[in-house]
Amino acid sequence: MKKSLIALTYAVFLLVLILPLVQIFTEAGAGGLDGFWQTLQRPDAQHALFVSGLIVVIVTALNTLFGVLLALYLVRDGRLPHRVKQFLNALVDLPFAVSPVIGGLMILLLFGPNTILGTFFDGIGVKLVFALPGMVIATLFVTFPLMVREVMPVLQEIGTQQEEAAFTLGATPWQTFWRVTWPSIRYGVLYGVVLTVARSLGEFGAVLVVSGNIVGKTQTATTFVYQEVENFDFLAANSVALVLALVSILTLLTLEWTKSRKEVI
CATH of the domain at 247: 1.10.3720.10
Asked if residue 244 has pLDDT above 70, the reply is yes
**Per-residue pLDDT tens digits for 56-85:** 999 999 999 999 999 998 888 877 787 888
Q: Where is 27: in which H helix or E strand?
A: helix 19-28
Q: What is the four-CA torsion angle of 101, 106, 108, 110, rounded to 10 degrees? A: -170
Cα separation of 151 and 155, whole Å?
Answer: 6
DSSP state letters, 175-214? HHIIIIIHHHHHHHHHHHHHHHHHHHHH--HHHHHHH---
Cα separation of 24 and 253, whole Å?
Answer: 19
Cα separation of 149 and 67, whole Å?
Answer: 9
Instruction: State whether 15 and 51 are in the same domain.
Output: no
Count of CB atoms situated within 10 Å of the CB of 175: 13
- The whole-number pLDDT of residue 265 equals 53
| Mean pLDDT (whole number) for 164-179 | 87
Cα separation of 193 and 189, whole Å?
Answer: 6
Instruction: State whether 21 and 95 are in the same domain.
Output: no
Total number of domains in the chain? 2
Cα separation of 167 and 176, whole Å?
Answer: 7
Cα separation of 20 and 122, whole Å?
Answer: 43
Instruction: State whether 47 and 25 are in the same domain.
Output: no
Asked if residue 222 has pLDDT above 90, the reply is yes
Which residues are within 8 A (CB) of 34 and not within 5 positions of it... i.e. 6 or more apart?
Answer: none
- The whole-number pLDDT of residue 144 equals 92
Instruction: State whether 131 and 259 are in the same domain.
Output: yes
Confidence category of residue 264, pLDDT binned at 50, 70, 90: low
> What integer best gives the mean pLDDT of the chain?
87
Instruction: State whether 93 and 127 are in the same domain.
Output: yes
Cα separation of 228 and 234, whole Å?
Answer: 7
- Terminal Cα-to-Cα distance of the chain (whole angstroms): 39
Residue 180 lies inside a defined structural domain of this protein: yes
**Per-residue pLDDT tens digits for 71-128:** 998 888 877 787 888 888 888 988 888 889 999 999 999 998 888 888 898 888 888 8
Cα separation of 178 and 7, whole Å?
Answer: 48
- The whole-number pLDDT of residue 252 equals 81
Residues making up the chain, counted from first to last: 265
Instruction: State whether 25 and 100 are in the same domain.
Output: no
Residue 37 lies inside a defined structural domain of this protein: no
- The domain of 215 spans 43-264
pTM above 0.95, yes or no: no
- The whole-number pLDDT of residue 220 equals 94
Written as one letter, the residue type at 82 is H
Return the SS3 of 232.
coil
DSSP state letters, 30-87? TTHHHHHHHHHTSHHHHHHHHHHHHHHHHHHHHHHHHHHHHHHHHHH-TTS-HHHHHH
DSSP state at residue 172: -
Question: How big, in percent rounded to 5, are the helix, strand and coil portions of the chain?
Answer: 80, 0, 20
- The whole-number pLDDT of residue 147 equals 94
Residue 36 lies inside a defined structural domain of this protein: no
Instruction: State whether 21 and 71 are in the same domain.
Output: no
